[in-house]
């Protein structure tokens, strides 16, 4: 089977071998429902408790603060909608570059009388201090600012933002899905009220996520029923996926510093090669994830480039995998003030634990040849 070099780790990561090994018994002989009182159920409950402790340890939280969900999108919705359901309608403030699974539920709150305030970012994709202050002056009840952008990789100063939001009387949430496993993430040090995580971005299984929640924050559940997860997320637990999530967190936390340094070196090599091909690197002047490069070939369509790179043996993306069905230019880039024609040429390359120097070198060589071919075709069409 044709298997392109995988350079789309921000979309999802291949299952870590240690995670697969840990999950296998829970897909076979250990099949109990964690709510059952017999031995099979007790084994499942113990496995969930152990996984919860591992997830909590990876992010400096207490196990009782971890609420398992089916994915990061559900966790984001649980905070935004769950918190809003128990508060008098007011202002919910979100950054202008939030993932759709924060932005869309926030917009849905308008039906319940809420006002959505988008916080502007600068040309690098960082929260603009002046607009941040203006947003806080509106006394928002809820604030959500992502820790790391899934497209540009830009990092926000979450700890400082959370402290100021708290002082203004707001509950502060951060989507840390992209930060987990790529940087050290500490729930307590960040000082947030809630934080979203996802398993499949760090080598865990699809179908497992978590909301880490300060116990002082009350939420209304999105899913009511059997009362699992402190009554905040009813439904029979996916034990295999939760076990895998715990091991993935354990693995990622153990190698985060060394991997961050290694990937940052590969990113620098990749960006130097792209600049040599006259590519525009987005957010190059801001602190970013060590594995993420978002660039544009001006005058060319990003989707076309991604398709050609895929056929040439390199799998990357034109933006967020979660909104790939949307043909519109990146919402993040437009919020940064990037012109629509330039944004349409955007391509994202994201590196991961299996990425080697040879992969980066091969990508740059292939990319250079493709650009030469496209430039030649453009020149011929202009002549005619």
The sign of the dihedral angle between the CA atoms of 4, 7, 12, 18 is positive
Other CB atoms within 10 A of residue 33 CB: 14
Question: ∠ CA 178-183-187 to the nearest 5 degrees?
Answer: 85
**Vertex 359: Cα angle to 297 and 374 (nearest 5):** 30
Tokens of residue 279, six digits: 């590519």
Is position 316 annotated as part of the catalytic site? no
Report CA Rg, the chain: 22
For residue 162, the SS3 value is helix
Query: Phi-psi category of 266—alpha, beta or left, where left has phi over 0 and alpha has psi -120 to 50?
Result: alpha
At residue 310, what are phi and psi to the nearest 5 degrees? -60, -45
CA angle in degrees (0–180, nearest 5) for 250-256-259? 130
Helix, strand or coil, per DSSP, at residue 288: strand
Helix H segments across 277-348? 302-311, 331-335, 340-343
Instruction: Name every residue whose Cβ is closer than 8 Å to that of residue 1 and which is 6 or more positions away in sequence.
Output: none
Which one is catalytic: 101, 249, 316, 322? 322
Q: Copy the structure tokens of residue 88.
A: 């008098």
128 burial type by CB count under 10 A (0-12 exposed, 13-18 middle, 19+ buried): middle
Maximum distance among all Cα pairs of the chain, rounded to whole angstroms: 78
For residue 315, which of 51, 2, 100, 1 has the smallest C-alpha distance?
Answer: 2
285 CB-near residues (< 8 Å, 6+ apart): 124
The residues annotated as belonging to the active site are 322
């Amino acid at each position: 089977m044709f298997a392109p070099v995988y350079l789309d780790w921000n979309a999802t990561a291949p299952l870590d071998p240690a995670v697969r090994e840990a999950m296998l018994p829970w897909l076979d002989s250990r099949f109990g429902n964690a709510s059952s009182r017999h031995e099979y159920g007790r084994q499942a409950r113990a496995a969930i408790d152990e996984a919860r402790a591992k997830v909590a340890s990876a992010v400096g939280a207490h196990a009782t603060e971890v609420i398992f969900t089916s994915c990061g999108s559900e966790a984001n919705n649980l905070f935004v909608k769950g918190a809003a359901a128990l508060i008098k309608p007011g202002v919910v403030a979100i950054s202008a570059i939030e993932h759709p699974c924060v932005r869309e539920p926030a917009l849905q709150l308008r039906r319940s009388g809420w006002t959505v305030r988008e916080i502007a970012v600068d040309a690098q994709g960082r929260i603009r201090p002046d607009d941040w202050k203006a947003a806080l002056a509106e006394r928002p009840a809820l604030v959500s600012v992502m820790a790391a952008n899934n497209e540009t990789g830009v990092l926000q100063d979450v700890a400082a933002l959370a402290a100021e939001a708290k002082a203004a009387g707001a509950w502060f949430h951060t989507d840390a899905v992209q930060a987990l496993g790529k940087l050290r993430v500490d729930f307590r040090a960040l000082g947030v009220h809630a934080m979203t995580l996802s398993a499949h971005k760090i080598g865990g299984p699809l179908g497992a996520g978590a909301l880490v929640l300060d116990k002082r924050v009350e939420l209304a559940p999105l899913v009511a029923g059997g009362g699992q997860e402190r009554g905040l997320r009813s439904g029979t637990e996916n034990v295999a996926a939760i076990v895998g999530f715990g091991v993935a967190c354990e693995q990622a936390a153990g190698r985060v510093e060394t991997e961050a340094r290694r990937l940052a070196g590969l990113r620098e090599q990749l960006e130097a090669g792209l600049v040599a091909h006259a590519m525009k690197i987005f957010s190059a002047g801001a602190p970013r994830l060590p594995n993420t490069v978002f660039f544009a070939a001006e005058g060319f369509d990003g989707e076309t480039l991604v398709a050609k790179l895929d056929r040439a043996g390199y799998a990357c993306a034109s933006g967020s995998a979660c909104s790939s069905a949307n043909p519109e230019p990146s919402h993040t880039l437009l919020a940064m003030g990037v012109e629509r024609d330039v944004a349409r040429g955007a391509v994202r390359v994201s590196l991961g634990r299996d990425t080697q120097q040879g992969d980066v070198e091969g990508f740059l060589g292939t990319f250079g040849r493709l650009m030469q071919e496209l430039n030649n075709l453009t020149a011929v069409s202009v002549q005619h």
